Structure 1
């Protein structure tokens, strides 16, 4: 089967290519990658290439069946309606927004260009609320940084506030959502659904900790594993990585090894963080995801990012990077941060520095560019897995 890129990365060009690949007999769509082979396995709809925050490129092969299964499972959980595309079209979250819209036979609304609250609100409020006299629910998908910008704007912009309330559900994925931001969203009347998944699972496949229909969850050696019809076929041109990340158990069930730690309590998944995002500080293993979760619970630090640094005394330590604060506040914040983290995670986990920064560097997906921050502060932490 042929693999071709869309005419451009413009969302409308990507939508046309996906329409042909998912609903028709068109070629599979190459998204985000270059120098890929022209041929892919039969049934492929898209190949999504991304390096995420680790900087390690991977080209994920997604079949029509996987994308369609994911879209239908989402509709079964939250409902069907019209979708607003506000995340990059070449990432799996954007792909799924468009596939859900195509299967619901509603042309998606599109927010093009750099994300800003005002165009988002205009696009949201411009979406049709009825078709043939029947109410059409509205949905969208965002990353936490986008949601926070909308909540900030909604405090003084009635149109943004109204737009947030207009959606039947707003899917939030890509990274953990700080509890304080979730509480602000609820207070603003926004209906938030936290999603968990990746390109390898056709996007989010666990909603608010509960798997979508057909999706299985398991914890093996502390690692979250997922199964079901939404799984990717593997990594293009990399059979060894595919075999390692997508093992098949003795019962013939194929699983995806997420690389995340977690536990399942009463059927609800609780993710504790990346298994490889751990430093050794003074001989003690410290999860930087747990440190970041504790820091983000401090009012005003909901957007903070924790990165590893070298430490002359302890070998490895961590720094808390905080956007939008004055450098003069670093010392006072460090005292507060160390107290909070020490109580929540333990004394060895207390960060060594607070670093004020005007604005966080981000990837095109909207996630913080952690690799860039690590380089800026000195590579002192865990190396990303392949």
Structure 2
């Protein structure tokens, strides 16, 4: 242990200053620097909590490093528990993820950073830029994410020198699309004119690809984006897979997906040729983390696979993610997955976002309830119609006992709905 490498905290500035971490990140990726633990510079209390919980400035333990393939980053992730876990990402895992992403897209290019760089989706924008030999552009988010600032940052990106990419969460995409709607700007013009009204949306349309992840994307939002001429690529993955490893429902090169119990070796569980029953998603590939910091006995990583805790199924040869297994609602003895219900609700033009969950109920054990955010605050969604639509498409048991209209969904992390906060709001 005397010669073990230490884990160094890496304060990550917010907004446009995030690129200041590039030199340290470069050294971590070429093995000449220490393993890094990114923490938010603008949130010192949260940063200290993460650093203390994950043993910053202390040596990496047995199995947490490898002289042949050093650990480059330890990414803090709380999942749904709020307790930090440190995801151990090797140099090879980060490189494999970035390489597979560029192969899926139009090759290496210039990236716009629009998310906090202490999260995996944000720091991978910087990793991809370093490996591509390009200089990333970062958005100034000190005043929040705004379409005009997004457009201004786009104008600072190199033009005519390879493809341009960015990565967003659904909330950011929605705001950029609203920028066009608020000015009646629905055209699919790709001219690159970013002046005047709707500049954020026009900038968005000029990207060669917009990676979208971090949270489930409502189908209506996805259609709206593509109808507006935005080249959206949906992504599925997490810190444990060095970011997204399934793009548009298809595993990236080298990645593998298994549905169901890993003890079930039936070929259909890994097949993309048709449909399958739902089950827990497991992921594998060269972008997989080596485990968790200080959790050597975790069962999440077994035999080269990571058991995600998400439910999914193959549908028309593509991976469909149904939501967290621990979010399953047991109502009247029937299991209800929130994801399909949320998709039905979000299909209605009056619904911008939806979150479905279970609340304690003396009769049903758990009652299915939903929170929806209206597209137009002055035109609340037709609740009775929404309930009828769910009954028709997802069954009686899945029909929400109550649908509450909220001005916005509480969020946590990089754009994920805060289900506990929503549950408390609906239980009050």
Task: Calculate the TM-score normalised by the size of structure 1.
Answer: 0.89
Residues 7 and 13 in structure 1, CA contact (< 8 A), matched pair in contact too: no
> Which segment drifts farther, 154-163 or 346-355?
154-163
> Which segment drifts farther, 110-119 or 30-39?
30-39
Are residue 256 (structure 1) and residue 306 (structure 2) matched? Answer: yes
Residues 75 and 118 in structure 2, CA contact (< 8 A), matched pair in contact too: yes
Assess, with a 3 A threshold, how the Cα gap between structure 1 residues 337 and 110 changes in structure 2: closer, same or farther.
same
Assess, with a 3 A threshold, how the Cα gap between structure 1 residues 188 and 265 changes in structure 2: closer, same or farther.
closer
Are residue 85 (structure 1) and residue 135 (structure 2) matched? Answer: no
Are residue 247 (structure 1) and residue 302 (structure 2) matched? Answer: yes
Q: CA deviation at 1:91?
A: 0.5
Residues 6 and 13 in structure 1, CA contact (< 8 A), matched pair in contact too: no
Q: Which residue of 22, 30, 38 corresponds with 1:23?
A: 30
Match of 1:240, SS state, is coil
Residues 359 and 367 in structure 2, CA contact (< 8 A), matched pair in contact too: yes
Q: Match for residue 39 of structure 1?
A: 59
Q: CA deviation at 1:227?
A: 0.9
Tell me how many residue pairs correspond in the alignment: 367
Are residue 194 (structure 1) and residue 234 (structure 2) matched? Answer: yes
Q: Match for residue 269 of structure 1?
A: 319
Q: Match for residue 66 of structure 1?
A: 93
Q: Match for residue 118 of structure 1?
A: 148
Residues 295 and 302 in structure 1, CA contact (< 8 A), matched pair in contact too: no
Residues 277 and 289 in structure 1, CA contact (< 8 A), matched pair in contact too: no
Q: CA deviation at 1:13?
A: 3.6
Residues 86 and 141 in structure 1, CA contact (< 8 A), matched pair in contact too: yes
Are residue 348 (structure 1) and residue 397 (structure 2) matched? Answer: yes
Assess, with a 3 A threshold, how the Cα gap between structure 1 residues 94 and 8 changes in structure 2: closer, same or farther.
closer
Residues 215 and 417 in structure 2, CA contact (< 8 A), matched pair in contact too: no
Match of 1:5, SS state, is strand
Q: Distance in 1 between matches of 2:413 and 2:281?
A: 26
> Which segment drifts farther, 73-82 or 280-289?
280-289
Deviation digits for residues 183-218 of structure 1, max 9, x if unmatched?
111121110111111111000011111111111122
Are residue 377 (structure 1) and residue 381 (structure 2) matched? Answer: no
1:135-284 to 2 correspondence within 5 Å? 135-155=161-181, 156=183, 157-221=197-261, 222-241=279-298, 244-248=299-303, 254-264=304-314, 267-284=317-334
1:48-67 to 2 correspondence within 5 Å? 48-67=75-94
Q: Match for residue 319 of structure 1?
A: 369
Uncovered stretches (5+) of structure 2, i.e. residues with no partner: 40-49, 184-196, 262-278
Q: Distance in 1 between matches of 2:293 and 2:427?
A: 33
Q: CA deviation at 1:53?
A: 4.3
Q: Distance in 2 between matches of 1:280 and 1:201?
A: 30
Q: Match for residue 251 of structure 1?
A: none
Q: CA deviation at 1:325?
A: 7.5
Residues 324 and 358 in structure 1, CA contact (< 8 A), matched pair in contact too: yes
Q: Match for residue 289 of structure 1?
A: 339
Q: CA deviation at 1:259?
A: 1.4
Q: Distance in 1 between matches of 2:369 and 2:376?
A: 16
Task: Calculate the TM-score normalised by the size of structure 2.
Answer: 0.81
Q: CA RMSD in A?
A: 2.1
Q: Distance in 2 between matches of 1:185 and 1:283?
A: 38
Residues 351 and 375 in structure 2, CA contact (< 8 A), matched pair in contact too: no
Q: Distance in 2 between matches of 1:235 and 1:303?
A: 33
Assess, with a 3 A threshold, how the Cα gap between structure 1 residues 323 and 271 changes in structure 2: closer, same or farther.
closer
Residues 209 and 270 in structure 1, CA contact (< 8 A), matched pair in contact too: yes
Q: Match for residue 382 of structure 1?
A: none
Are residue 303 (structure 1) and residue 303 (structure 2) matched? Answer: no
